[in-house]
Amino acid sequence: MTTDDDLFLPEPEPRAVRATVISVDDHLVEPPDMFEGRLPARLADRAPRVVENEWGHQVWSFDGATYSQVGMNAVAGRRPETVKVEPFRFDQMRRGCWDVDARVHDMDLNGVWASLCFPSMITGFCGRVFSQCSDPELGLAVTRAWNDWMHDAWWQPHPDRIIPLGITFLTDPEAGAAEIRRNADRGFRTVTLPERPHRLGLPSIFE
């Protein structure tokens, strides 16, 4: 049986912070409970959820498809020889990948004062998965739920250390703009958008 010592490097010793580092291209891994209680009751049973597949991997299930936490997406603290492309389980990730208190602890170890964290696989990195949901009402509700989680669970516990980033609903310009404004009104500093929207059937940024 693989142990933590087999997977993870030794815990670094704390060091004094000698410079202010603001990291603006980090990622988080969405925790399994992030959508609980965040969708309207009529949609709650269709929220994204983490399930275990036949190979023992923990994957997200949503709208008839599954999305893995690919191993290369959560390599922090892992011994290099243990990093593969197979999906990781949450107990195979350093806790700071998905727990904000542990993330801030890791930021202290790494000399990083503030972090801007992009989403991961279940969103399609920019909200693509939710925007392409077969039920637009569900897709928009899940988009809003992700942003509510970012506000309540990831940013608010450490408002000086986390830079709040939102996603938006890409396939409805009016709903998407409204969601960006909703987030801006409560303190979000940025929103992530696809770098190649034409690949998603959306207008090119050059049009």
Please name the amino acid found at residue 17. Answer: V
What's the CATH code of the domain at 32? Answer: 3.20.20.140
- Count of structural domains within the chain: 1
User: What is the pLDDT at residue 78?
Assistant: 77
Dump strand ranges (E) for the chain: 22-27, 49-52, 58-62, 65-68, 114-118, 162-163, 165-166, 190-191
Distance, CA of 92 to CA of 110 (rounded, Å): 20
Over residues 127-152, mean pLDDT: 98
Assess if residue 137 is contained within a domain. yes
Task: Summarize pLDDT for 32-81 with one digit per residue, the tens.
Answer: 999 999 999 999 999 999 999 888 889 999 999 999 876 566 777 778 88
Confidence check: pLDDT of 21 > 90: yes
> Quick check: is 165 in a domain?
yes
